[in-house]
Chain A
Amino acid sequence: MPVNSALRIRFLAAAAVASCWSMQAVALNFEYSSDRPDELRDCDALEYRGERYDADDCYAALRVSGSDPRVRAEAAWSLGDLRAANTQFQEAIDLYPEDPRLRTRWGELFVMTHQDNEAVKLFQEALELDPDYAPAKLGLASVSAGRFEDQAREWVDEALGHDQDQLRAHLLLARMSLETGELDDAEASLDRALRLAEAQDLPPLEVYALKASADLLRGVTDSVWTTRALEMNASFGDIYAIPAHFYVITRRYREAIELLSEAVRIQPDLWAAHAELGVNLLRVNRIAEAMAHLETAYRGDPFSAKIVNTLRLIDSLDNFRDVVRMPEMDEANGGAGMILRLHRDESEVLEPYVSELVNDSLRTFSQRYGFELAEPVVVELYPEHDDFAVRTSGLPGIGLLGVTFGYLVAMDSPSGRTDNDFHWGTTLWHEMAHVFTLEATNHLVPRWFSEGVSVYEEWSTGPLPGRHIPMHVLQAVAEDKFLAVADLDSGFIRPTYDGQVMVSYMQAGLICQFIEHRWGQSAFVAMLEQYTQGADTAAAIEQALGISPDAFDQGFEAFIAAELGGVLESLDDWKAQSERAYEAADRGDWGAALEAASAAVTSVPEYVADGNAYLLKAKAHDELEQPDEALATLESYWSLGGHDAGALKALARRLDERGRRADAIDVLDDLLGVVPLDSELHIDLGDRLMAEERATEALREYRAVLALNPYDQAGAHYRLATAYRQLDDAAKTREHLLYALEIAPHYREAQQLLLEIAR
């Protein structure tokens, strides 16, 4: 699209959004490009030194008397009048349509008001006018970096290709290096940036803030750079807010809160810091304080989707119920107890299952990691996936199913996902392992190891048996896409190809399998101790395992060859056989389908996820009237962790038909990890438990049925009555029986029981 016609459309869009823009004080407005108008420099100098009143007077004078709309736009921006700045940029572009700087700066204004897509268009238009215009490339880099996209580095490299002396490019490089933990690279970029700032007489405050960040990541909390920045500008809130970002992305939320609190103390109108502070207070369950800061942020910056969404999330917490389970209330409650934050519509149903799993995990992990939690764990289950997504906003490489902020776990509720593959039990188990690895190390554990331990625990102690590696990850392993252990964090934070985050999860889990296999489970504890002391991954491996990272990688490669070599060699065969099997099934040739599906199962026996060959094999056996073989196939599928609800229900029914009631119960019990809101499942399981005279367990299932507000309320009460009868609780039996008959006076079975107990 030609620039001018695109521009007209933008004017319309901008006119619409501009009506929302208002006066707002903002973070300091740094522009490092050499073509910033000279008229602004004196005012800038005052602002950089924190002389706000003088700076405002200076900018105001330029705004009134300045004839050049380019200057007026910048002055209005610095004064926090973003609406006027927007109008002035439009006017300026009318006068100077060929000026790439103007479009780039206007784009930066859009970035500031959270309209990245509009900003990107402007940066691209600037590059149409001047393909070598470096600030526009850096604008694009900045947007990509904010989204943790690897493309950011490419844009920076392009910009530096034209001019090596661009301060902002080195700042962006430093920031990205700090995010991936490459501290030496970051320091080099910052040293270069500092020299450029001094040489070009540019403001060094952002360099100082990133220098302080680097110190922070090295464990130095009282950085000299902080002092230097505050000497230059005592109200430069970003000297705390920028380092806080690195605490957040390394999951050190409590420390981030301290820094952000300091940031808003010295610069009360730093709205972005208020917003971050609010979001992070929410992550540590300080809800009232979070709301206060988010409301402050909203007043100053009402256009941030993150702020608005988080405030809405807090509002929606009224629909949730906190279920408190403390050890002093019941000795069955492990650790320091738990607070389950469950939606009111499903809390009664889910609470018994969630609390049992959390208790199991507390016992298991306390023992395995020799660490006792100091606070109750808060577990939030969101029926609306969008609410959960708000929780993870702004965090890189976070799993799509759950997130742990230390003592607070947030995840999708089983009702929040319609896919049949979501196993809430194993997700919660994974997150609970994070609680231990994070808290045992005071949040110093790197992402990869925390994820690795969680995945490993899913596979080895979680509610779902077996190792589960998606097919695309096996393919990535076959293509040698695993990273060196010391670089594995980057696979989470800045993935370079689609699906790399999941590949990194699986690699981390396999690494932990390797560690356990070679050094034993106690090596995990040793690794965690190293991290607690501040070691990086290389040092942790050397100290805890007595091996160099290179030797570790070689050992891991050999482990993978031994563990997965056969599977990797069979991947192509598995795909071909699976395809053959499904094609044969489509044309009704069940003999051929069985042969191919059996071959696929043999090729990759541990694969039970979507598209597995087991279910087709079982179906083929059924079609060929081989019920015993179909049953055996379904049992294999189940024992390996397959959890398709329909398949497991069919398996339970068949086991029951063969008199294997206890096994049928085990299968249905496992299904609770997939579809705990299925009332038929609870009825089925409860009835089978009653038949086995396991009334206490049946009672739990029947209570769940009632909590699901079933159409057949009478039936639900009657079942409860029968369970209480088996437990010899006469009062409860009568109570539920009368409830049942009050609803359905003609209910035969209930009438019969009433006649019996009244005898």
Chain B
Amino acid sequence: MGAAAVLGALMRRIAAMLSVGLLVAAPANAETHYLIVSGLGGEPRYAESFAQQALSLAQSARRTLNGDERVTLLSGDEATSDAVTGALEQLAATVAEGDTVAVFLIGHGSFDGEQYKLNLPGPDLDGETLNEFLTALPARQQVIVNTTSASGAVLEAWAADGRTLITATKSGGERNATRFAEQWALALASEEADANRNGAITVQEAYDFTTRKVADSFEGAGLLATEHAEVAGDTALGFNIALLSARIATTDQLRNLIEQLEVLEGQIETLRGRRDEMDNDAYFEDLQGLLLELALVQREIDAARAGE
């Protein structure tokens, strides 16, 4: 990667990290809903690992929501075509326009040159049908992560306004079982993925972590990569797809402190936006001031948590 590309990627990453302030400031009653589907494993080793990945993602979702009311997990024999479409219908009836829906699809997918299919117990679910149900969801912000083999086949068809679509492969031609879901599940529970160390994992952070780990796993084994993830739609890249425990407010005191934190985050983001028009020394002087305030609030949060 050239220096300009590296810098560009870095700037996008920083921008995505800092956009958290705005996203946290979304309407107070906005809710996030998760649907996690783990399809047919075929072989026992796949069935086992798919189920484990789905469970890990459900745990991350529950931790993020501080409960499991808005988390739907369909795994193993439960994940039939009817169950999946039923869950999507249920979501369509439940979610509001300002809500966010996150859908994670795990398992094997196939593509015959024309049609993508998600392999499920019983009849498979084709890509077109799945997209109809996803499109019917009223939530303006959607994060759809299709981790299956051949998932790249849906990149164009599923792209939509307000939707960030991530696929484990770049096309329907990458048909080997993927490694993406395993790393995605890790990302949503990993401090390592939290590049800006704010206790929240954005979609961008999770994507960066996952793609890097997948590439490393192939390189480490001396193998040519058989999957290349793609992302379409950037509106939800800054969305906090998972919160680590450090970000979750469990008391009024913590809630108050986290709100202070969010204000400071917003101010830092605003300052960053003015960087080009500012003198370098002045920029860093102001930045240092805000960072010191943030550090002090953070210290209070840590102390409050320690006293819980």
Contacts and interface: CB of A to CB of B under 8 A. Distances in A.
Nearest to B200: A746
Interface string B281-296: 0001001100110111
Given A751-B294, A754-B295, A746 B288 contact: no
A758 B292 contact: yes
A313 to B, nearest CB: 20
A674 B19 CA distance: 41
B198 A711 contact: no
Contacts of B195: 711-714, 743-744
Contacts of B196: 714, 743-747
Contacts of B296: 755
A741 B14 contact: no
A711 B212 contact: yes
B157 interface: no
A713 B10 contact: yes
Interface string B105-132: 0000000000000000000000000000
Interface in A725-759: 734-735, 738, 741-748, 751-752, 754-755, 758
A461 interface: no
B212 A751 contact: no
A711 B192 CA distance: 9
Interface in B43-76: none
Contacts of A755: 292, 295-296, 299
Contact of A746 (B1, B6, B199, B209): B199
A743 B292 contact: no
B2 A754 contact: no
Interface residues of B, number: 32
A65 interface: no
A709 interface: yes
B17 A743 contact: yes
A748 B287 CA distance: 16
Contacts of B227: none
Contacts of B1: 345, 709
Contacts of B209: 711
Contacts of A754: 288, 291-292, 295
Contacts of B192: 712
B272 A742 contact: yes
A755 B291 CA distance: 9
Given A711-B212, A744-B197, A751 B6 contact: no
B298 A748 contact: yes
A345 B2 CA distance: 7
A34 interface: no
A265 interface: no
Q: Among A345, A709, A714, A742, which residue has the most Cβ atoms of chain B within 10 A? A: A742
A714 B291 contact: no
A743 B3 CA distance: 18
B222 interface: yes
B268 interface: yes
Q: Among A713, A745, A758, which residue has the most Cβ atoms of chain B within 10 A? A: A745
Interface string B176-198: 00000000000000001001111
Nearest to A753: B295
A518 interface: no
A746 B222 contact: no
Contacts of A714: 195-197
B257 to A, nearest CB: 13
B208 interface: yes
A49 to B, nearest CB: 57
Contact of B265 (A713, A745, A748, A751): A745
B288 A738 contact: yes
Contacts of B268: 745
Interface string B226-237: 000000000000
Contacts of A746: 196-199, 294, 298
A747 B272 contact: no
Contacts of A734: 288
Interface in A698-731: 709, 711-714
Q: Among B1, B197, B208, B288, which residue has the most Cβ atoms of chain A within 10 A? A: B197
Nearest to B294: A745
A746 B191 CA distance: 12
10 contacts: A344-B2, A712-B195, A743-B17, A743-B195, A743-B196, A745-B291, A746-B196, A746-B198, A747-B196, A747-B197
Interface of A: 344-345, 418, 709, 711-714, 734-735, 738, 741-748, 751-752, 754-755, 758
Given A743-B14, A745-B265, 8 more contacts: A714-B195, A742-B14, A743-B17, A745-B268, A746-B198, A746-B199, A747-B197, A755-B296
4 closest A-B pairs by CB: A751-B295, A746-B198, A744-B196, A744-B197
